[in-house]
Amino acid sequence: MNDQTCNQIQAPLRPKILIADDGAYIRRLLSIPLGKKYEIIEADSGAAALGFIELHKPKLVLMDIMMPGVMNGLQVLDIIKADPRFKDIFVGLMTARGQIKDGAIAKKRGADAYFVKPFSPADVVAWVDSMLHSTLQ
């Protein structure tokens, strides 16, 4: 009988990202490239996003502003930024609203980034990588 101890080496957990958008094509557009490095969680409404944030505690949220249901992206952003449990979550908002004042309002409410649709997925991936760089080391 062998008396050696077997030490298992676990791969580091991949940071979780929540992609919340009512458009499945937007979620897919982002989940494919981001899924290579990160664990992806998807939601199709603000209420679902908030539930997943509480359940999974992602490191970063990419969220549409205009979603169906009782809660839009800005309302979810307000909850994230007001709750001390979520203070370290980065939030990037995605929207078709391209007015300069809309982006300024989002930043004032605590958004870390503001992407106007149609956006370049490469730009979003680069932003995510820059925000989570320290998490990957």
pLDDT tens for 88-105 read 999 999 998 878 888 899
User: Given this model, what pLDDT does residue 134 score?
Assistant: 58
pLDDT score of 136 more than 60: no
What residue type is assigned to position 13 of the chain? L
- Average pLDDT over every residue of 9-24: 86
Q: How far apart are CA 52 and CA 46, in angstroms?
A: 10
- Average pLDDT over every residue of 23-40: 97
Q: How far apart are CA 21 and CA 33, in angstroms?
A: 16
pLDDT score of 71 more than 70: yes
**Least confident residue range of 26-30, 66-70, 85-89, 131-135:** 131-135
- Average pLDDT over every residue of 33-48: 97
Helix (H) or strand (E) holding 48: helix 46-56
Structure tokens at 86: 């979520």
Q: List helix spans (H) across the chain.
A: 24-34, 46-56, 73-82, 100-108, 121-136
- Average pLDDT over every residue of 57-80: 96
pLDDT score of 1 more than 50: no
